[in-house]
Amino acid sequence: MAGQGQFNDSRNMLHCYEYFNHYKEFIACLVQTGLGHLLLQALDSYILDTYYTEDKGQDFYYTLRAFSGSLYNIYVTWILEDSKESAEEIVSIICKIYS
């Protein structure tokens, strides 16, 4: 699925966090019952399938894995702390990390 823009594009991340927020109660239940890794696996698969090709090399592969892990961990922290920030604020924070 090349042509999806940059993996760390703010529009893509905002879409991701809005999607997560829509399913917040379900995802919170997954995390609280020890099944949060299922979301992480799905996120890893989606990001790798969308942005990675072997010609981009191992550095990019690990960058994408780190990126999906950070999206997951920041999201879990966000929902478990009652989503005090807006999705836009969270995305702004992530953009600062990856700029």
Query: What domain range is 21 assigned to?
Result: 10-97
Task: Evaluate whether residue 1 is within a structural domain.
Answer: no
Contacts 24+ apart (CB under 8 A), 40-46: 40/68, 40/69, 40/72, 43/68, 43/71, 43/72, 44/68, 44/69
Task: Evaluate whether residue 86 is within a structural domain.
Answer: yes
Answer yes or no: is pLDDT of 3 > 50.
Answer: no
Task: Evaluate whether residue 5 is within a structural domain.
Answer: no
Q: For 34-62, write each residue's pLDDT tens digit.
A: 999 999 999 999 999 999 999 999 999 99
Task: Evaluate whether residue 3 is within a structural domain.
Answer: no
- Please give the tally of structural domains in the chain: 1
pTM here is 0.84
Task: Evaluate whether residue 4 is within a structural domain.
Answer: no
Mean pLDDT of 16-25: 91
The whole-chain average pLDDT of the chain stands at: 91
Query: And the tokens for 74?
Result: 């920041």
Confidence of residue 4 (pLDDT cuts 50, 70, 90): low
N- to C-terminal Cα separation, the chain: 23
Task: Evaluate whether residue 16 is within a structural domain.
Answer: yes
Task: Evaluate whether residue 42 is within a structural domain.
Answer: yes
